[in-house]
Amino acid sequence: MIYLELFLSFAKIGVMTFGGGYAMLPIIQREIVEKKKWVTEADVMDYYAIGQCTPGVIAVNTATFTGRHIAGDLGGICATAGVVFPSIIIITLIAALIRGFAHIRAVQDALAGIRVCVCVLVFNAVLKMWKKAVVDKVTLVLYLAILIASVFFDASPILMVVIAAAAGLLVKGRAKA
């Protein structure tokens, strides 16, 4: 049954991923594009882009978009429930225990190591997406402009997505005309 398969696939992603939504991106991509072949690389890039500019965690939004694409509204609900279910359980357990262990040096050291690992996972996801998104001079210029706006001017992500969409329509649309 596709609903159970969506739930279990995204639950597996949710339980294996530490570090938040961005750390989940390479695992989501591997599961839904490469293994399950539910969506294309272009689809998942679109889900990431839309997920970035909509409320909520990008991994949860991507699960919802994928589930809905595969099996309608109920598919979206099942995929979303799957990706958040492990976190709910794990966070509840950690919240119950953290007060007693947060001061322990070994716990602090382990968390420091996990933070480094998450940075690498996010960096790898960015590299994969960059290779698919920056495909010509126009997209490279757009990438550099958005990078500068983001790093040096703390521009709003929503504003950047809207401007990038308009630039894509304007420049790419003219090229096709």
* Nearest CA among 60, 71, 83 for reference residue 1: 71
Q: φ and ψ at 110, to 5 degrees?
A: -60, -45
Q: What is the pLDDT of residues 99-157, one digit of tens each?
A: 788 788 988 898 889 889 888 888 888 888 888 889 888 889 999 999 999 899 888 88
What are the tokens at 82? Answer: 């799957």
Q: How confident is the model at residue 175 (pLDDT cuts 50, 70, 90)?
A: low
Query: Is 134:140 a contact under the CB 8 Å cutoff?
Result: yes
Q: How confident is the model at residue 21 (pLDDT cuts 50, 70, 90)?
A: low
